[in-house]
């Protein structure tokens, strides 16, 4: 598959939602941009904060939509159309209630699994779903209201640490991702973590 040219992090805008389960994708992209010293700046034309820089020798765009999660496709679609970025060249990082906290998985294409943000991205890309997803486990609320669980309370210290640990990618693994070597990347990323003493 082609390499990744655009990395998107889904999340709701504003301080109120910072640190909530719904914003783990945006947090990962913010941290990744900082890791490679890629400055992010608001771009009204694309309804989000945009950056572009060198990631391990590859030219990569970063996008944090400033819309609410369920309208993320407006931002992703606008930027991808303007710069001619194909859906297969996009990675979208988002929260995943089907996975427990501490589990993250890469996936190529497929259904949106009732995630309104991913569904919006599919629509914004002309109903194409063949983009890469980084699904970040935040656990399921059980009988509690889903929206309150995702946006009403920040992750606790232990859960934040588990999320961060689940998202660890060294340069060798990240290189596989941005080069489009997704099968190799998934094999490494999904392998059980070595037990710590």
In degrees rounded to 5, what are phi and psi of residue 168? Answer: -65, 125
Give Rg (Cα) of the chain: 16
Q: Strand pairing partners for 91?
A: 7, 132
Print the SS3 string covering 20-46. CHHHHHHHHHHHHHHHCCCCCEEEHHH
Active-site annotation holder among 22, 94, 112, 190:
22
User: Strands, DSSP E only, in 18-145?
Assistant: 41-43, 48-55, 58-65, 90-96, 104-108, 132-137
Known active-site residue 115: no
Q: Which of 118, 10, 142, 137 is nearest to 63 (CA)?
A: 10
Question: What are the residue numbers of the active site?
Answer: 22
């Amino acid at each position: 598959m082609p390499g990744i040219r655009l990395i998107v992090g889904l999340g709701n805008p504003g301080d109120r939602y910072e640190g909530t389960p719904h914003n783990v994708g945006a947090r990962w992209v913010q941290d990744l941009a900082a890791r490679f010293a890629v400055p992010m700046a608001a771009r009204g034309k694309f309804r989000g904060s945009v950056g572009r820089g060198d990631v391990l020798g590859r030219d990569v765009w970063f996008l944090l939509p400033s819309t609410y999660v369920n309208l993320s496709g407006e931002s992703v679609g606008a930027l991808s159309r303007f710069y001619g970025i194909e859906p297969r060249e996009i990675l979208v990082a988002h929260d995943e209630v089907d996975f427990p906290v501490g589990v993250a998985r890469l996936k190529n294409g497929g259904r949106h699994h009732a995630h309104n943000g991913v569904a919006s991205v599919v629509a914004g890309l002309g109903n194409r779903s063949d983009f890469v997803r980084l699904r970040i486990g935040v656990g399921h609320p059980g009988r509690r209201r889903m929206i309150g669980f995702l946006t009403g309370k920040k992750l606790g210290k232990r859960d934040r640490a588990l999320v961060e640990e689940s998202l660890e990618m060294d340069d060798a693994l990240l290189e596989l991702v941005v080069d489009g070597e997704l099968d190799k990347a998934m094999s490494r990323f999904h392998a059980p973590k070595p037990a710590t003493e």
